[in-house]
Amino acid sequence: MTLSDVSVKLDDRARLMSAALAATRFPDVAQDRRPHGTHAHARATRKFVSAFKSHDAITALQTLLDQRAPMEALFTLALVMRMPDFSVERPPRWMPARWNEMLRDFYERADLTHWWEETSEEWTKAVEDSTRMFTGIQFKPFLSQFIGDIQERFFFMPNICYPGDQELGVRLGNDLVAIIPPRLAWGDSPPWPYDEDPAYIYRTALAQYGRSLLMNYLRIHSNKIAEIAQTPLPVGDQFQSMYPTWQEQFTNLFVAGAAAIYLEDHMSKAEADAYVLMERKVRGITILPGMISVLRRYLNEKAAGRYESLIDFLPMFPRQLKVANRIVAL
């Protein structure tokens, strides 16, 4: 049996940040932004830590949330803390003074270790379901067609606490970590178990790994990209307002297009079509079918030996995307 290149694991530092979020106003803000059913463990954790809303670690976190600190940055900080003393070798400038010590105090006073032991069955199920879904799954051969050899390691962390409505991607040196909640269901229904929608697991994880790898790839080739970016991408006003720069636009189009191609090639066309429809309706990526067409053309021409990697193809990309978008719109 082919081994997966994705390792599933839990990390108490990530669970700590999730529990801290549960004590802030974040759960209510998330519901106001997008009403959804939450996992039973998330609701139970919120009740469990409710007595710590005034704890220094929580008030500092709330201030960061009010300042719109990126969720990825918060979880990255958590994952670079060294256990058991919670030390941080190079604290980021935005980190509140001694916040790591405050988080350690919250962790100990709330006795989170005991709480996770009490609720271990739910976490164990999440890990086992996810592990079963990734059995034999290989993402690197697919992604390497675009960006070349991949040395990074892929990790998947199921998150049944908070945030329950956001997928997160974290880079820790050579490790890429996808922190993924279970798929949301309709209305107030509880989220789906991890093993009931493989397409969701694959596309969300692939998106996080692909995003991090591509961003690094674009940085490596920044001189060429600066020249290529002089030609605007044919995106709509809504998409452009969400992603102002050429690099942001291309990265988000690439991630969505690559996920659709992977689903079609490794699952079914029906799964890919459902995903494309969702991305067009929910995220407004109306240009996605054209993006898929252009990426398919690149893969075919690369297989024929015309290109070595994506950077060789990118000078023609904006024009080809414009043409492809016009064709698929007919």
Q: What is the pLDDT of residue 1?
A: 55
Co-location of 174 and 225 in the same domain: no
Q: Which helix (H) or strand (E) holds 155?
A: strand 153-158
- The mean pLDDT value for 239-267 works out to 94
DSSP 248-278: HHHHHHHHHHHHHHHHHHHT-HHHHHHHHHH
- 7-11, 79-83, 175-179, 322-326: segment of lowest average pLDDT: 322-326
Co-location of 134 and 225 in the same domain: no
Q: Does a structural domain hold residue 76?
A: yes
Confidence of residue 83 (pLDDT cuts 50, 70, 90): very high
Q: CA–CA separation, 65 vs 124, rounded Å?
A: 30
Q: What is the distance, to the nearest Å, from the Cα of residue 281 to the centroid of all Cα atoms in its chain?
A: 20
List phi, psi (to 5°) of 189.
-65, 150
The total of structural domains in the chain comes to 2
Q: What is the pLDDT of residue 153?
A: 97
DSSP 16-46: HHHHHHHTSSHHHHHHHHS-----HHHHHHH
Q: CA–CA separation, 321 vs 302, rounded Å?
A: 17
The residues, any chain, with a CB within 8 Å of residue 270's CB and separated by 6 or more, are none
Co-location of 24 and 170 in the same domain: yes
Q: Count of residues for the chain?
A: 330
Q: Does a structural domain hold residue 199?
A: no
pLDDT in tens, 3-17: 899 999 999 999 999
Q: What is the pLDDT of residue 283?
A: 79
Co-location of 154 and 227 in the same domain: no
Strand 153-158 with 175-180, pairing: parallel
Residue where a domain stops, chosen among 149, 180, 211: 180
Co-location of 158 and 275 in the same domain: no
Co-location of 11 and 135 in the same domain: yes
- The mean pLDDT value for 194-202 works out to 95
Count Cβ atoms below 10 Å from residue 145 Cβ, excluding itself.
18
List phi, psi (to 5°) of 178.
-100, 120
Q: What is the pLDDT of residue 326?
A: 81
Q: Does a structural domain hold residue 208?
A: no
| 268 residue type, one letter | S
Confidence of residue 208 (pLDDT cuts 50, 70, 90): very high
Co-location of 155 and 55 in the same domain: yes
**What tokens appear for 232 in the block?**
């605007």
Asked if 201 and 194 touch (Cβ cutoff 8 Å), the reply is yes
Is 35 exposed, middle or buried (CB count within 10 Å of its CB: 0-12, 13-18, 19+)? exposed
Angle value at C-alpha 13, between 119 and 54, nearest 5 degrees: 80
Asked if 37 and 190 touch (Cβ cutoff 8 Å), the reply is yes
Residue where a domain stops, chosen among 180, 204, 234: 180
Co-location of 176 and 254 in the same domain: no
Co-location of 90 and 227 in the same domain: no
- 26-40, 275-289, 294-308, 310-324: segment of lowest average pLDDT: 275-289
Residue where a domain stops, chosen among 130, 158, 180: 180
Co-location of 22 and 137 in the same domain: yes
Checking if the pLDDT of 186 tops 90, the result is no
Q: What is the pLDDT of residue 140?
A: 97
Angstrom distances, CA of residue 201 to CA of 115, 153, 238, 308: 27, 17, 27, 30
Q: What is the pLDDT of residue 281?
A: 84
Helices and strands, number each (H, E), in the chain: 17, 4
Q: What is the pLDDT of residue 182?
A: 96
Is 314 exposed, middle or buried (CB count within 10 Å of its CB: 0-12, 13-18, 19+)? buried
- Looking at per-residue pLDDT, the higher value among 52 and 286 belongs to 52
Q: Does a structural domain hold residue 215?
A: no
Q: CA–CA separation, 129 vs 15, rounded Å?
A: 18
pLDDT in tens, 97-121: 999 999 999 999 999 999 999 999 9
- The mean pLDDT value for 305-328 works out to 90
Query: What are 176's strand-pairing partners?
Result: 154, 171
Q: Does a structural domain hold residue 252?
A: yes
Checking if the pLDDT of 325 tops 90, the result is no
- Looking at per-residue pLDDT, the higher value among 281 and 85 belongs to 85
Asked if 86 and 40 touch (Cβ cutoff 8 Å), the reply is no
* Residue 207 three-state SS: helix
Q: Does a structural domain hold residue 192?
A: no
Q: Does a structural domain hold residue 31?
A: yes
Percent over 70 (pLDDT), the chain: 98
Q: Does a structural domain hold residue 203?
A: no
Checking if the pLDDT of 328 tops 70, the result is no
Q: What is the pLDDT of residue 2?
A: 67
Give the range of the structural domain holding residue 136, as residue numbers without chain letter.
6-180
* Residue 8 three-state SS: strand
Q: What is the pLDDT of residue 284?
A: 77
Co-location of 225 and 175 in the same domain: no
- The mean pLDDT value for 233-251 works out to 91
Co-location of 231 and 293 in the same domain: yes
